[in-house]
A and B are shown apart, each in its own frame.
Chain A
Amino acid sequence: MTLTNRSAAELASALQKGETSAVECATAFLDRIEATNSTVNAFLTVDRDGALATAEAVDASRASGKPLGPLAGLPVAVKDVLCTTDQPTTCASKMLKGYQPPYDADVVQRLRAAGTVILGKTNMDEFAMGGSNENSAYGLVRNPWDLERAPGGSSGGSAAAVAADMAPLAIGSDTGGSIRQPAGLCGITGLKPTYGRVSRRGLVAFSSSLDQIGPMARSAKECAMLLQAIAGHDPGDSTSLNIPVPDYSADLEKPLQGLRIGRVAAHFSEGLDPEVAEHVETTFATYEAAGATIHDVELPHATYGVPTYYLIAPSEASSNLARYDGAHYGHRWDGTPSDEKGITDFDSPLVEMYCRSRAEGFGPEVKRRIMLGTYSLSSGYYDAYYAKALRVRRLIRQDFNKAFENVDVIGGPVSATPAFKLGEKTDDPVAMYLVDLYTVGTNLAGIGGISFPCGFTKGSLPVGFQLQGPALSEPLLLQATHQYQQATDWHLKRTAALSS
């Protein structure tokens, strides 16, 4: 068995026992990336030298008997939306091509402190806007289970990297489902923690009130290890929760006897792929067999989730992305007269520089969302759109709170379909927005959600299952997933599409 076939938990154990070294481990994954990245395009930057230097330092520490954390020497892939001082941070945008941040994100600092080996930065939808990873200025990502299909997004690079054995662990970010949906479509496990559990400092903002960083790995056990390293209070993020971090691995082995799982009937309405529905129902049955009870719950405002999300997220994004104006850093129009049709009557040379820099630097989906958000915040529209969306958001949060009075977690599908064909939805933004149907509620409510593989279609595509839990229920979500993964082996399946 080669090193890249082994899970992070197995690698951690092998490293601790001295069966392998951090350098050997990093080399194996770097070689795997070199062999497969031209096909998958999961990585935008690979830092072989930096990774090996870190690995050497970890090995030296271990040899000198220094106490090391459980993640020391484990390779990790980081979504290119987190600032790193030693690698560019582009957000998969032409706007930030080659941009080198002067500081590390809080999560990156924590990863370094934990002794993890950062292999590189993963591809994504530009500025985390998208659900297919087709909106990258540096090329789309292919789903390792079927190279003609999308890996999901926006953390498509991170999900594909884990699924293709290019990294045992990855960091993603989730604004409306961007960890859970690609995890589901790529057959891996991904957790979106409670808003405020992980610091957003150094996470390039898409929608500040919804963004949250989380772990992606093969299993819940490994997500727990990674979450342990990145969670915690950061005085540099005002929205970071100043609440002690529990031991996420402590409860994993506890049985599920008495767990109350909510089932939302509306999740199974029109639009849900029958194969996905079947696997999701089977998963409920597996839980029941393990001692859980299933209860009907209602989330009456869930149908407004997608429209609410597509007002709040673009509104915040329109403001968050205003800083990319060509004046201080990032892409700037070089002054070449443009043949492009459109506005030619600029107020001033400055305004022309702004407009042309942004027109060139941003891709179409980012522009679409900036337009949507600008519109919804404009005077005369604010009350009808943004303000109303905030009111509906409160109702959605109340729905979850009410539901969690009767159940511990809510289960259901992550996505209505398995991985779709590349290009299938690119001309239909609304169809693309609906891929977020089951996931946006978690972000709007600020609660936790986890996605994990629960079966495969006849066409050998993974199907994901989602559990949502109340604020700070990460230990329970991880435990429930781990217990499922003890009873099943979907998370152990490896793709054959990339075997050399």
Chain B
Amino acid sequence: MSAETQHPFTTVIGLEVHVQLQTKTKLFCGCITTFGSPPNTQVCPTCLGLPGSLPVMNRRAFDLSLRAALALNCKIALFTKWDRKNYFYPDLPKGYQISQFDLPFSYEGHLEVCDPKGAFEPRTVRITRVHLEEDAGKSMHDETAGTADSRIDLNRTGTPLCEIVTEPDLRSAEEARAWLNELKLLLVYLGVSDCNMQEGSLRVDANVNLHIPQEDGRLAKTPIVEIKNMNSFRSVERALVYETERQWGEWQATKAEIGSMPKQTRGWDDSAGVTRGQRHKEESSDYRYFPEPDLVPVTVTEEQVTTIRSSMGEPPAVLRKTLADRWKIPANDAGVLVNQGPELVRYFEDLATRVGEGKVASNWMQQDVLRTLNERGGNITDFPVRPEAVADIIARVQKGDFDTSRGREIFASVVEKGASVAEVVAGMGIAAVDDSDLRALCEELIAENPKIVADVKGGKEQAAGGLIGQAKRKNPNVNPGKVRALAIELIRALP
């Protein structure tokens, strides 16, 4: 149980998520959107906002955002338009952002989140709206005192952004983090965004306040605070926990309720672990929205919706179930695999197909592949051991060349050395022990261990286990099962 739920109030959280769409080119011009290029190298008159330049909508970006909205169970507006959001800032070269104001292309959706560990009840979070807009550029401020020198990189200007706004349906910081994970997973599965928070392709703002039941039956509500500048899901969770406690303290001190002050914006300071109030002037803006006259309204047909819907594939929530059914693996296994993203699921299915047994493949995924991946960091697509190699190791174990623990050593060695399974096996001197060698070894052991032989002959077959360790010391390549079986057979055959 998280700390805040012990307090006599309900935490009410709504989220605003900005996601960069995975398009090759920008929303209103042909510039590419690759991250990390030298500043101001991916720009043209349109995204620089030069005099006389005009926007032309990238239909691919629109279709991609439709895909996100459909996966979020939104209603799709068959007629939608663009609006200008006017404000001055150096990273906004036109002096306005092309966005959607009163007629977003989609609205009224929902996305459910469950906690497999049962920390909270399954929660359906309503989506108020999803709309499309262009991103601004990046300002880099020189912090040297007094110089006030700022540099602007407009490579990001005009990158398509999907804004997803939820209703205030989340009830804890933990839930918010879990829901964000589910949203991210969904968008990654759909190919809508890479959701890389470090590169800024996913940004989250949170609105939070407390509902506090009063003795007279009334529900007191604290003023809503918008939290900004959270750069990981972990900071979202920490910021919300902090803000909940802060508001509770504030309530006890002031009894200030919603409506007693304008909505406050607070920035999250990750290193200090606190939220800080932002200057009032930054909060109140009149964006003077009006319809963008340089663009024509967008129409969407039922056919287009159907086409996009049919090409979407399975969302994570559905995939968890189908994966468990298809490979006969426990729901928890399927959940772990799906939560790692589509590439890992592809890896698993490749492995399972080769192995022919879902459960065996899943065990190797959970115990070896995932563990190693987590230790090493990085992406499954760059993981040095490909499914065919894992399948090779499993096949050798199943054939009896060596046991599972030996197989795991080989796996670790393949990861470490970047060599093939065959090379590692040869390098470790592992060669299949042929039957005559195995018989000679067992006969030697029988001769050396009269006590064990007597025990086995007396019916205590488990005593044969004592021979296995010795056998492995004599020849590390022997298969313990085979040693055991042959030794028992030979002892029984003794006069």
Is the CB–CB distance between B293 and A323 below 8 Å? Answer: no
| Nearest 7 CB-CB pairings of A with B | A322-B95, A208-B293, A209-B293, A377-B288, A204-B51, A202-B52, A327-B90
The residue on A at minimum CB distance from B279 is A347
Partner of A102, one of B50, B84, B296: B50
Is the CB–CB distance between A238 and B86 below 8 Å? Answer: no
Is the CB–CB distance between B96 and A319 below 8 Å? Answer: yes
Residues of B within 8 A of A (CB): 45, 48-57, 84, 86, 88, 90, 93-96, 148, 150, 152, 281, 286, 288-290, 293-296
Partner of A238, one of B57, B84, B150: B57
Residues of A within 8 A of B (CB): 82-83, 89, 91, 96, 99, 101-103, 105, 200-205, 207-209, 235-239, 315-316, 318-319, 321-323, 325, 327-329, 347, 349-351, 354, 374, 377-379, 382, 386
Given A327-B152, A349-B148, A386-B290, check contact A201 B54 (CB 8 Å): yes
Closest chain A CB from B474 CB (angstroms): 79
Partner of A319, one of B48, B50, B56, B290: B290
- Write out the residue numbers on chain A whose beta carbons fall within 8 Å of the beta carbon of B150: 350
- Write out the residue numbers on chain A whose beta carbons fall within 8 Å of the beta carbon of B84: 319
- Write out the residue numbers on chain B whose beta carbons fall within 8 Å of the beta carbon of A96: 51
The residue on B at minimum CB distance from A380 is B286
Closest chain B CB from A181 CB (angstroms): 22
Q: Per DSSP, are chain B's interface residues mostly helix, strand or loop, or mixed?
A: loop
Q: How far does the alpha carbon of A377 sit from the alpha carbon of B87 in the complex, in Å?
A: 13
Task: List 6 A-B pairs, Cβ < 8 Å.
Answer: A83-B51, A201-B53, A202-B53, A204-B51, A319-B96, A322-B96
Q: How far does the alpha carbon of A238 sit from the alpha carbon of B52 in the complex, in Å?
A: 13
Q: How far does the alpha carbon of A329 sit from the alpha carbon of B152 in the complex, in Å?
A: 13
- Write out the residue numbers on chain B whose beta carbons fall within 8 Å of the beta carbon of A82: 52
Closest chain B CB from A450 CB (angstroms): 24
Closest chain A CB from B51 CB (angstroms): 4
Closest chain B CB from A346 CB (angstroms): 12
Known contacts A82-B52, A237-B54, A378-B286; can you find 9 more A-B pairs with CB under 8 A? A96-B51, A99-B51, A102-B45, A202-B53, A205-B51, A236-B56, A323-B51, A349-B148, A379-B286
Q: How far does the alpha carbon of A327 sit from the alpha carbon of B52 in the complex, in Å?
A: 17
- Write out the residue numbers on chain B whose beta carbons fall within 8 Å of the beta carbon of A321: 95
Is the CB–CB distance between A319 and B288 below 8 Å? Answer: yes
- Write out the residue numbers on chain A whose beta carbons fall within 8 Å of the beta carbon of B45: 101-103
The residue on A at minimum CB distance from B56 is A238
- Write out the residue numbers on chain B whose beta carbons fall within 8 Å of the beta carbon of A205: 51-52, 294
The residue on A at minimum CB distance from B46 is A236
Is the CB–CB distance between B290 and A315 below 8 Å? Answer: yes
Closest chain B CB from A417 CB (angstroms): 32
Is the CB–CB distance between B95 and A319 below 8 Å? Answer: yes
Is the CB–CB distance between A101 and B50 below 8 Å? Answer: yes
Is the CB–CB distance between A201 and B296 below 8 Å? Answer: no
Q: How far does the alpha carbon of A295 sit from the alpha carbon of B425 in the complex, in Å?
A: 100
Closest chain A CB from B43 CB (angstroms): 11
Is the CB–CB distance between B50 and A322 below 8 Å? Answer: no
Closest chain B CB from A109 CB (angstroms): 12
Closest chain B CB from A145 CB (angstroms): 32
Is the CB–CB distance between A328 and B49 below 8 Å? Answer: yes
